[in-house]
Every structure is written in C-alpha cells, then in structure tokens.
Amino acid sequence: MNLRIWIVLFAFAAQTLPMQRLQSAEIDFENDVLPILEDNCLFCHGEDEQESGLRLDRRGYMLRGGDSGLAAVVPNQPEKSYMIEVINHVDEDMAMPPDEDKLAAEDIATITQWIAAGAVWPGQMDDVVEEEIDHWAFLPRQTEFDHANIDEFLNSRLRDASLSFSPPADARSLIRRASIVLTGLAPTPKRTHQFQRDFSKDADAAYEDLVDELLASPHFGERWAQHWLDVIRWAETNGSESNLYRKNAWMYRDYVVRSFNEDKPYNDFVRDQIAGDALGQGDATGFLVSGPHVPAATVGQEPTAIRQARADRMDEILQTVGASMMGVTIGCARCHNHKFDPISIQDYYSMSAAFQDVEFGSRFPELSADHPRIRRDAELRERLAELRNKMRSKGWAWVEDWTGYEEIHFPPKTIDEMRIDFHGRWVMMDEMEVLESGKDHRNVLAPEFGATIRDNPSTHVASQPTSNLNNGVFGTKGWRGVSKKGNKEKPWLELSFPETVTVETIRMSSNREDFLETDYLEGINKSKIR
C-alpha cells in the first residue's frame, strides 16, 4: 500500500478509538485478534475453503499469502501487509469482507497494532508452511519400472491386452515412411527402386544407410525445425491487429534449420537462444521475440497504453521461455501465484528482470567472424568489389539501389568541391557520405574532415538543415529540399573540402535503418545496378 494512504488510514483509525486502547503496549492474540478472524475471515479463508488461495487459520499461511502473491501479513510492517489494505477497503474490487461488511474501525486498529507489534501468534511463531505440490508432473515416480527395457514393457502390455505388434513393413512402405518423417518429402521412384533392391539383399544395412542419408539431407533440418518453431509460436508476421510483416524473421528460422542439420547439442542450442548476442550467435536470440506482439508504433502516446503494451511484450517472452525450455506455463503467474506449477508471482517478475533489456523489432545481428553468414558476406563483397573495379576500369558510372540507400559509383576523381543536382522537386535524406578511393573508403564528408555543405536557398527547409546530412545519425530523415509550387528551381547540394580528395562513391541514405533491419545479406544478392 502507498505509505501516504497508510498514514492517513492509521490517523483516521486513531481519531475513532479511545486513546488508552491505541496506547496499549500489547495485543492478546487469543482474546483480541482471533475472534475477529473467526467471525469475519475464516469461513472463506480457513482450513475447509480458501478463496483466492488464501488461508488465515495459521500464521505461516498468512506470511505466505494467497494467489495474489502478496504476503497477507508482514510482521512489524502493517503498511506492507496486504490484509491491512483489503480490510480498509482501499480498492473496492478487493475489499474484505466484501460488500457492506467492513470491519469496525476498532477491529481494524486491533489487527494493525497486532501486526505492528510483530504479529505474535502463540504456538505458531516457528510455523513454516511448505509449498504443497500435488501435480503429477512434479512428483517422483511412485512405482519402480519392473522391466529390463522398453521393448519388454511394450510386449508385456500387448500380451495383457491380447495384442501383438504389426507385421514388418515392406521395403516400399519403409522408405516412404522414413523419408516423409525425416525430411517431409516422399522418395523419388529411382531412390525407391534402389532401396528395394538393397533391402532384398540386406534389410538392416539398407535401412540404416537410408536413415543416415536422410539425416544428412538439408531437408532434415527444414522438416524438424518446424516443430521447434511451432512450440515458440514463431511467425513471419507479428500478429495483433496490424499483423505487420517481420522482415528479419527468416534469420532465426535459418538458425534453427542449421542447428538441426549440424546436430547442435541441445545445451548449446538453448544457450545460443538466451544469450547468443554475447556469443556471436545474434541470429539465435530471435527466439526471444518470435511470438506475437503489439508493435510500439501502433500503441499510441497514452502512457498507460505504452506501459501495458510493454508488459504484454515482456509476458510473451516469459511465456515462450517457460513453455519451450522449462516445460511450464509461466504466464499465469503474471497476476497471481500459479494454480498448478510451483511458480509464484514473485518468481514471474524476478524472471522478467532478466529480460528487461530485450525489445521486439529487427536489428543488425551480432555474429562471430566464423559465422556462416559472415563468411558468405565476405565472399559476396569480394565478388562485388571485383565487378565494381572492372566497370570503373572501363570508365563507367552507375547507381546501385540498395534498400535504404543508393550508391553512385564512378571512376576516381580528384576534387576539392562537388555539386549534386537533383532531378526531382522534392528530396529527402537522412545521411550523405562521400567515399575516398582506395582500400579504406573513408567518408570525407564526415565532420572531422571539415567539409562544408550548402543547399539551394530557394528549396531550403529551415527545420531540416544541411548539418543533418553528416551528423552520423541514421533513420531520422533529417534533410529535405522542397521546390514549392511556382518555383522552377530544383534542390541541389554543393560540397566543399578543405583540401583535394580523390573520391569514387557517393552514398545517399533515405533510411539506412531499412537496410540494416530488412535486407542485410539479402540486399547483396538483390542489389539493382543501373
């Protein structure tokens, strides 16, 4: 309870009671407190019935609290005791006793004083209530397994039911079953005929070779990854009303497929998905944000709605971790102690603290130098550099249209100033870079090089100055050139450098975050050159 509310309530109680009662140094539990509980509380919160999981007939249960996860009694601290809040009817929805049966002010003061004095309950000061777990999934197996192996167990049960195993399948059925189960694809006629021939010579060897072949197929990972992806509710859209496309979801899907095909140990598989961003497996942590959620951009500006949406997204993470890796439903403990699993509301919010720095949305993944995508990235960029050098050697100039930015390439030019004229009457950029020739490709338009930028005064937008073009901040769309109606001039930019530079590339970003969030390596393959 808010401390201010508690002080006000206590002051009110003090005004309604005889001073000598408040000044009493000791409350007799048996004579003063227990009758109040018996008359007003124990019918619904006693040994026979526990509304909201709360028992008040033993001190240990009071200290533990009910489904709310809040301790009913905190000795010496009535302001932190949930019982004081409910008997004062602070929240009418949780008022106890309910309706018009509020305790008398004198009884409330008695319970308050009893808690403040340490909640002394004679004979129960050492009372400890153990967590009662009766769900079968958390109990030890009650009977010994009296069979040497699973086959013996199955045979005995079949005999008891007067049943027997089905007869062995023929070769054609076996290869079809194994192929569909392990890869999701039916075998080709050619492979079926080959297996039938091998099976007729040595059935066991033929089947073992077939299974090894299917496990080595890349389709094995594609087939079996779907089961894990289903468990964690993975999808390529985020659900909710907007159901927006999640443009980087494929990276996590590919990680799961690759893990199955590489036979990654399960402990490594789990570790990557919880902490992969710190282990060079940043694509694996897509696990935490694979489920449905309400995007922050669709929530609006109402503070309570923003907090609610954030709590919902955090709940989605906890539910995913709980169901897939712990085998329990954690979500119930968001509002109260779990009804079946041994998870309290304190456990829920303690666990949520571990994930508070996680947010839904795409990002450039943290990948190690030996990650397959980084190696492929290097291969593609090396090939791209070869193509660019070949075109420059022929004196060509061209534009590469990447998602989020364009690059204008041309043979090396030594300059101290440059002018860029735009064809359109409306231009918007978030950043501009002018790259030097050579291996390093330094951006000579960066502030530390001292270059200046000037735009067309007649198309200048005061709120978005040219200084935004080289401030190193992407995603802001910080500069615009607008030719208003009746103005025949179009936007242009003039760049001046303090000394001569040799350049070969101009990079103009409309929103660099689009590239980092959506395309990454895909952009290398799909770059449009014109």
Model pLDDT, residue 132:
63
Cα angle value 380/385/389 (rounded, 5°):
150
Model pLDDT, residue 144:
65
Model pLDDT, residue 228:
96
Model pLDDT, residue 229:
95
Task: Give yes or no for a contact between 113 and 27, defined as CB atoms under 8 angstroms apart.
Answer: yes
Q: Which tokens in the block code for residue 509?
A: 């970003």
- 3-class secondary-structure state, position 416: strand
Question: What is the end-to-end Cα distance of the chain in Å, rounded?
Answer: 67
Task: Give yes or no for a contact between 271 and 240, defined as CB atoms under 8 angstroms apart.
Answer: no
* CA atoms of 349 and 225, how far apart (whole Å): 31
Could you check whether the bond before residue 97 is cis, i.e. omega within 30 degrees of 0? yes
Q: Which residue shows structure tokens 């593609």?
A: 380
Side chain identity at residue 352, one-letter code: S
**Cβ–Cβ contacts within 10 Å for residue 390, how many?**
10
Kind plus residue range of the DSSP H or E element containing 412? strand 405-421
Q: Report phi then psi at 461, rounded to 5.
A: -110, 110
- DSSP for 423-483 reads SSSEEEESEEEEEESSSS--BTTSGGGT-EEEE-GGGB-TTS-GGGGGSS--SS--EEEE-
Model pLDDT, residue 514:
62
* CA atoms of 482 and 281, how far apart (whole Å): 44
Residue-level pLDDT, tens digit, the chain, 530 residues: 444 444 334 444 444 343 334 444 578 899 999 999 988 898 889 888 888 888 898 888 888 888 887 889 999 999 999 999 999 988 888 888 876 678 988 999 999 999 999 999 998 888 776 666 667 777 777 666 677 788 888 888 999 999 988 899 999 999 999 999 999 999 999 999 999 999 999 999 999 999 999 999 999 999 999 999 999 999 888 887 777 778 788 889 999 999 999 999 999 999 999 999 888 898 999 999 888 888 766 777 788 888 888 899 999 999 999 999 988 888 888 988 887 778 888 889 999 999 988 888 767 778 888 888 889 889 998 999 999 999 999 999 999 988 788 999 999 999 999 999 999 999 999 899 999 998 788 999 999 999 999 999 999 999 999 999 998 877 667 899 999 988 999 999 999 999 999 999 999 988 766 665 544 444 434 443 33
Helix axis angle, 203-216 to 218-231, nearest 10°: 70
β-bridge mates for residue 406, sequence order: 401, 508
Q: Report phi then psi at 419, rounded to 5.
A: -125, 135
Helix axis angle, 189-201 to 203-216, nearest 10°: 140
Side chain identity at residue 337, one-letter code: N
* Nearest alpha-carbon partner for 1 in 101, 58, 99, 81: 81
* CA atoms of 378 and 390, how far apart (whole Å): 19
Give the dihedral sign, CA 120/122/125/128: negative
Side chain identity at residue 67, one-letter code: D
Q: Which tokens in the block code for residue 486?
A: 């009746």
This model's pTM is above 0.85: no
- Helices in 337-371 by DSSP H: which ranges? 345-353
**Cβ–Cβ contacts within 10 Å for residue 395, how many?**
8
* CA atoms of 367 and 277, how far apart (whole Å): 8
β-bridge mates for residue 398, sequence order: 409
Model pLDDT, residue 111:
92
